[in-house]
Amino acid sequence: MTRTFWTGALILALGVAALVLTAPAAHAHHSIAAQFDLDKTVTVTGTITKMEFRNPHSWLYIDVKDDQGRMQEWAIEFGSVNALFRRGWKREDLPVGAAVTVNGFAALDGSRTLGATEVALPDGRRLFAGTAPSEGGR
């Protein structure tokens, strides 16, 4: 067989491998509009129980009192760790036990999940929470 054949076969094999390896990542990424109602904003105030800085999305969990005084856990989705850090976030900004107010988009499925847009910290600072619809979410 000729050298040209093997070079072509190698290029084809590498191309197929690249497609196979990147397909799950492409499938996993989604628009914010796929999970959240961009026409319905919600504001919740509660106490932090956990903050997970991770990729592709970071998550904050807070306990919020409902209208009857019962505690309910809310899950709040943010952009990636790198996106948050580029916007000035620090790991120590969200310690367990701190009270925060979060603005965001309501979950399409009606769950206690928000697509966060902004977090107000106890010291008065406001942190932008990640990708907004105007940055390519819709």
Length of the chain: 138
Closest by CA position to 138, among listed 35, 28, 24 = 35
123-130 LR contacts (CB < 8 Å, sep 24+): 125/93, 127/84, 127/87, 127/88, 127/89, 127/93, 128/87, 129/76, 129/78, 129/79, 129/84, 129/102, 129/104, 130/57, 130/58, 130/77, 130/78, 130/79, 130/80, 130/83, 130/84, 130/87
Q: What per-residue confidence (pLDDT) applies to 23?
A: 44
Q: Which two tokens stand for residue 39?
A: 């026409």
The whole-model pTM stands at: 0.72
Q: For the chain, what percent of residues have pLDDT higher than 90?
A: 57
**Tens-digit pLDDT profile for residues 2-61:** 667 667 666 666 665 555 554 444 445 557 777 898 999 999 999 999 999 999 999 999
